[in-house]
Amino acid sequence: MSGGNTLWHGRFEGGPAAELMAYTESLSFDRRLWADDIAGSVAHVLGLVKASIISEHEGASVLAALEQVADEMGAGTFVFVEADEDIHTAVERRVTELAGPAGAKLHTGRSRNDQSATDVRRWLKRELMAVAGRVVDLQHVLLDRAVAAEGVYLPGYTHLQRAQPVLLAHHLLAHGWALGRDVERLLDALERIDVSPLGAGALAGSSLPLDPDVTAEALGFAARFENSLDAVGSRDHIAEALFVLTLIGLNLSRIGEEIVLWTTDEFGFAKLDDAYATGSSMLPQKKNPDIAELARGKAGRLIGDLTGFLATMKGLPLSYNRDYQEDKEPLFDAVDQISLALGAVTGMIATTKWVPDRMQAAADAETTSATDLAEWLVQRGTPFRDAHAIVGLLVRRTLAGEGSLRDLVAVHEALGPDAAALVAPGVAVKRRTTKGGAGPAAVAAQLERFRAKLAELSAAVAPDLG
């Protein structure tokens, strides 16, 4: 008896148990790495030829076999067999079938430890850049809608209580800036991801004259690993990617929650486009914000992906441990979910109709000008704490039914008719004049700065398109 057709059969008398294969396989989820796995193998073959470990002729036949495997994978005709425990095993098995003895040399000086780490880093470079592009798309929509919302204002909230009026553009751009930081975080994480682990072998490098710089360059990595134990034994870049993806999910959940609120009859600030809303199977009148709700709900799942992975990594000794195989499912899930969420939320925001009358009526509630009244007094020499108390007392009186705030202000000895003019529709928002503030002049300047920042981010996420 031998170890069957596993990659490690020499050392084993018997083959693997069916339960072992069922429990330890990763092919069911790592097969999506096939293109990266083949690219890694192509680079490795070039390195083996360059180091004269295999002949040019052998190299050519392995490369031809790899090309055929790529064709089969791409066409969906690749036949997986039961012993293919992961994508690396499947590709090597097929290459050996196709190229014979030369194929059996493919794994020289390489381990699945450095191979799988290389595949995932290469996959992440592409996928995180695509996510960054989708975030930038959402930022563009927010910018367009901010520009188009010129002059529309709504209450700004703290504690979800009306606080001061703000321009709708200001509110939309607040989400836009947060998403811009997420793009920067993705780009920053990508710098640490862009390091090739190939050549670290199982954990300690090789006695063969392989050059990790050669494969790093062939694979388009910015650098190679500095320490082989670290190369196969670290996953902090995956934790970091998961964190940034989760944070994007949290930011989308906050946008989602606002859309849920704004589309209620109670708020009535927004109406969803039919294409981005759902109906009820029982209640004919319903129009539900399911995208917004799932953006909120799926944030929980992303937090699970991140925290589950962090728990997996805790306390693991150097270098590779099979636990690391558990990096892929949460990572793939987070990328898939964020990609879907960004597409759906972007479409929803692009098509939602605002209801300026409702927004402005809510913002024009008399009490949202209370701070302006206090600041009016400050400009005439009243200490702020005293001004706050004077206006607070008037608010208390209007709430007690003694009259409108405007009337009470008009007859107040320290305030009077000039101050009462502040308690009129649309006045308060124009008084938010400080840099970065919520009024028209400040927001016009902010729009320019946002546009410039977005141009910079757009260029960074689509370098080829300029």
Considering the complex, state which of residue 232 and residue 291 has its C-beta at the smaller distance from ligand ARG: 232
- 196 is known as an active-site residue: no
Using the Cα atoms of residue 201, residue 206, residue 209 and residue 211 in order, give the sign of their dihedral. positive
- 9 is known as an active-site residue: no
Considering the complex, state which of residue 25 and residue 257 has its C-beta at the smaller distance from ligand ARG: 25
- Contacts of 140 by beta carbon, 8 Å cutoff, 6+ apart: 454, 458
- Tell me: does residue 26 bind ligand ARG (CB under 6 A): yes
Given the residues 2, 55, 57, 280, select the one marked as catalytic.
Answer: 280
102: β partners? none
- Tell me: does residue 312 bind ligand ARG (CB under 6 A): no
Could you say which of 86, 182, 305, 364 contacts ligand ARG (CB under 6 A)? 86
- Tell me: does residue 235 bind ligand ARG (CB under 6 A): no
Binding segment for ligand ARG (CB under 6 A), chosen from 99-107, 260-268, 318-326, 446-454, is 318-326
- Tell me: does residue 118 bind ligand ARG (CB under 6 A): no
As given in the structure block, the two tokens for residue 335 are: 């990328």
Considering the complex, state which of residue 234 and residue 325 has its C-beta at the smaller distance from ligand ARG: 325
To the nearest 5 percent, what fractions of the chain are helix, strand and coil?
65, 5, 30
1 vs 415: CA distance, rounded Å: 98
CA angle 374-378-379, nearest 5°?
Answer: 120
Look at residue 141 and give its three-state secondary structure.
helix
- Tell me: does residue 228 bind ligand ARG (CB under 6 A): no
Could you say which of 34, 262, 269, 324 contacts ligand ARG (CB under 6 A)? 324
The count of chain residues that interact with ligand ARG, using the rule CB under 6 A, is 10
Given the residues 28, 159, 207, 281, select the one marked as catalytic.
Answer: 159
Could you say which of 93, 112, 121, 432 contacts ligand ARG (CB under 6 A)? 112
Which residues inside 249-268 make contact with ligand ARG, applying CB under 6 A? none
Q: Find where tokens 């062939």 sit.
A: 218
Considering the complex, state which of residue 86 and residue 366 has its C-beta at the smaller distance from ligand ARG: 86
Query: Residues 263-302: x/- map of binding to ligand ARG (CB under 6 A)?
Result: ----------------------------------------
How far is CA 461 from its chain centroid? 13
Considering the complex, state which of residue 171 and residue 237 has its C-beta at the smaller distance from ligand ARG: 237
- Tell me: does residue 84 bind ligand ARG (CB under 6 A): no
38 vs 219: CA distance, rounded Å: 11
As given in the structure block, the two tokens for residue 466 are: 């300029």
100 vs 116: CA distance, rounded Å: 24
- Tell me: does residue 113 bind ligand ARG (CB under 6 A): yes
Query: Residue 212's closest CA among 154, 223, 4?
Result: 223
Binding segment for ligand ARG (CB under 6 A), chosen from 110-118, 122-130, 150-158, 212-220, is 110-118
- Tell me: does residue 116 bind ligand ARG (CB under 6 A): yes
CA angle 353-359-363, nearest 5°?
Answer: 165
CB of 314 to ligand ARG, least distance (A): 17
Query: Residue 463's closest CA among 203, 129, 234, 143?
Result: 129
Question: Is 69 buried (19+), middle (13-18) or exposed (0-12) by CB count in 10 A?
Answer: buried
Binding segment for ligand ARG (CB under 6 A), chosen from 108-116, 221-229, 239-247, 258-266, is 108-116
462 vs 136: CA distance, rounded Å: 10
Query: Which residues are marked as active site?
Result: 159, 280
Q: Which residues bind ligand ARG (CB under 6 A)?
A: 26, 30, 86, 112-113, 116, 320, 322, 324-325
